[in-house]
């Protein structure tokens, strides 16, 4: 099966119309995030440990995730990669200008570019990582690392608690060392569930309230997990029977979307799409109200290929009872669409390492709430990739700190992957307004497992 391959918002209040759907281009918002607060608290302690060892340049590699009784995974969701970015940002904020230490920017990507097989799970793999040159978070200098941080994120079987465990290894021994004193535990919130690839849905009635969203999301998510007493979702327990009827069509035939018993909180589709098949996504609003929808394929949004966190991506807006068909990746000027293409087996294997969520379709739904929009008074996710590409990189540590501080507050035939084909067609979109968005649910669909080489 092949990979199927939103603009940064500043308060999310506008959108573009695609026949019956619109793309929200208004201001972005961020929800309160329990992990960010703890990362900032722990950063000085982690930094002190690293400096005590005499390290000069530090990299942070993506984290593994364990949900309930499922296996550890590097591909659970956005959290695998974005937690590393958030830890980088927390460390940058904690660096003392009088005692500087270099923080590498996005060591995971740099290592993968050098060799997609790079890993920190084996002694040999860890040793190899010290031979790569990495960019620092400020300036234009490239360095080799003296040590790397990584870790594991664990969601408890009932999904109520999330534990973050840190490890460090250096070039001297390449042996993994647990940083037990830095480990912490927080209550699971919707950001963690969504970032971890854990599906959930909030009832329509609850969306009229002002609080209790995270608690309901956690309870619903646990009901979808195979360790739950009721592993089979009941009616109303997913976004697909409450807010959005999603049809994924291969050559015009809608595919079956069912709970994935092998991975709690996720869905699956089978069979895989075949090379050359026409792929379409049909969004049907069954919520009885206006709905904002984010659709990502292999971690990339169907609008602009955005790879940022969901709250920074544009939304497709569906009016009450409306439906719309997405037939490809829409460009940022909303005038062209790169028609979906199913890659060959070989193409899929080659493209696998270039995507953050290969083989997955991720769907988030938002409602317009009468309550005040959610605000997060603190976030260390940093600037979106789209924004970073538009500004020069910070030249000094002080500039890097300032850049982060400015974003910390809230602002209102073969079988393979689906990808863009390069066949551009006209798109008919127009802007609309979408007010006080509230995340009502998430769903994660495993549509492709790669064949063995």
Kindly state whether residues 47 and 180 are assigned to the same domain.
yes
> How far is residue 221's CA from residue 201's CA, in Å, rounded to a whole number?
8
- Does residue 290 belong to any structural domain of this protein? yes
Kindly state whether residues 142 and 24 are assigned to the same domain.
no
Task: Please say whether the beta carbons of 248 and 269 come within 8 A.
Answer: yes
| pLDDT value, residue 225 | 63
| pLDDT value, residue 90 | 93
| pLDDT value, residue 375 | 46
Kindly state whether residues 67 and 78 are assigned to the same domain.
yes
Kindly state whether residues 118 and 142 are assigned to the same domain.
yes
| pLDDT value, residue 70 | 81
> How far is residue 103's CA from residue 194's CA, in Å, rounded to a whole number?
27
Q: What is the pTM of this model?
A: 0.80
Q: Helix and strand tally (H, E) in the chain?
A: 9, 27
CATH code, 71 = 3.40.50.10610
Tell me which residue of 18, 364, 383, 25 sits closest to 191, measured CA to CA. Answer: 364
| pLDDT value, residue 174 | 79
- Does residue 401 belong to any structural domain of this protein? no
Task: Please say whether the beta carbons of 343 and 419 come within 8 A.
Answer: yes
Cross-strand partners of 317: 22, 292
- Does residue 239 belong to any structural domain of this protein? no
Q: Could you read off the pLDDT tens digit of each residue along the chain, which spans 453 residues? A: 233 333 333 334 344 444 444 555 443 444 447 899 899 999 999 999 999 999 999 999 999 999 887 888 888 888 999 899 999 999 999 999 888 899 999 999 999 888 888 899 999 999 999 999 999 999 999 999 999 999 999 999 999 999 999 999 999 887 899 999 999 999 999 889 988 888 899 888 777 776 778 888 888 888 876 544 444 545 457 899 899 999 999 999 999 988 877 666 688 888 888 888 899 999 999 999 999 999 999 888 998 888 877 877 888 889 999 998 998 988 766 578 888 888 888 877 777 767 778 888 999 999 987 544 444 445 667 665 656 656 778 888 888 888 887 776 544 344 455 555 455 455 667 667 787 788 899 999 988 876 544
- Does residue 210 belong to any structural domain of this protein? no
Task: Give the total number of structural domains in the chain.
Answer: 2
Residue 73 CB partners (closer than 8 Å, separation 6+): 64, 65, 66, 80
Which domain covers residue 340, as residue numbers? 14-32+244-375+410-446
Kindly state whether residues 175 and 296 are assigned to the same domain.
no
| pLDDT value, residue 453 | 43
> How far is residue 47's CA from residue 59's CA, in Å, rounded to a whole number?
12
Let me know if 117 is exposed, middle or buried by CB neighbors in 10 A (0-12, 13-18, 19+). exposed
Kindly state whether residues 50 and 171 are assigned to the same domain.
yes
| pLDDT value, residue 287 | 92
Kindly state whether residues 27 and 40 are assigned to the same domain.
no
Task: Please say whether the beta carbons of 320 and 290 come within 8 A.
Answer: yes
């Amino acid at each position: 099966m092949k990979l199927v391959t939103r603009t940064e918002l500043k308060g999310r209040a506008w959108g573009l119309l695609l026949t019956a759907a619109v793309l929200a281009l208004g201001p972005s918002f961020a929800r309160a995030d329990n992990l960010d607060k703890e990362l900032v608290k722990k950063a000085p302690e982690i930094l002190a440990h690293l400096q005590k060892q005499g390290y000069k340049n530090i990299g942070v590699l993506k984290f593994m995730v364990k949900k309930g009784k499922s296996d550890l995974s590097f591909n659970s969701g956005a959290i695998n990669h974005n937690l590393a970015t958030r830890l980088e940002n927390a460390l940058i904020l904690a660096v003392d200008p009088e005692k500087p230490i270099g923080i590498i920017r996005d060591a995971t990507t740099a290592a993968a570019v050098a060799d997609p097989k790079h890993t920190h799970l084996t002694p040999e793999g860890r040793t190899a990582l010290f031979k790569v040159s990495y960019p620092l978070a400020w300036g234009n200098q490239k360095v080799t690392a003296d040590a790397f941080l990584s870790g594991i994120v664990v969601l408890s079987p009932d999904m109520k608690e999330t534990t973050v465990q840190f490890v460090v290894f250096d070039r001297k021994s390449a042996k993994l060392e647990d940083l037990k004193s830095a480990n912490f535990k927080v209550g699971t919130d919707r950001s963690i569930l969504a970032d971890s690839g854990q599906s959930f849905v909030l009832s329509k009635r609850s969306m009229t309230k002002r609080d209790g969203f995270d608690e309901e999301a956690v309870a619903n998510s646990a009901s979808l997990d195979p360790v739950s007493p009721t592993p089979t979702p009941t009616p109303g327990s997913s976004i697909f029977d409450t807010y959005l009827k999603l049809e994924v069509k291969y050559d015009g035939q809608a595919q079956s979307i069912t709970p994935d018993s092998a991975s709690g909180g996720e869905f699956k589709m089978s069979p895989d799409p075949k090379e050359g098949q026409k792929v379409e996504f049909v969004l049907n609003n069954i919520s009885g109200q206006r709905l904002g929808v984010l659709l990502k394929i292999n971690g990339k949004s169907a609008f602009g290929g955005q790879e940022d966190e969901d709250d920074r991506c544009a939304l497709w807006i569906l009016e009450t009872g409306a439906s719309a068909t997405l037939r490809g990746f829409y460009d940022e000027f909303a005038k062209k669409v790169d028609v979906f293409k199913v890659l060959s087996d070989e193409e899929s294997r080659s493209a696998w390492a270039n995507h953050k969520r290969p083989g997955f379709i991720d769907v988030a739904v938002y409602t317009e709430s009468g309550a005040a929009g959610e605000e997060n008074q603190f976030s260390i996710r940093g600037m979106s990739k789209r924004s970073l590409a538009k500004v020069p990189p910070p030249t000094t540590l002080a500039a890097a700190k300032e850049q982060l501080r400015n974003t910390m507050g809230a602002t209102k035939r073969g079988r393979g992957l689906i990808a863009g084909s390069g066949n551009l067609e006209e798109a008919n979109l127009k802007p609309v307004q979408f007010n006080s968005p509230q995340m009502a649910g998430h769903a994660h669909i495993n549509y492709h497992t790669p064949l063995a080489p």
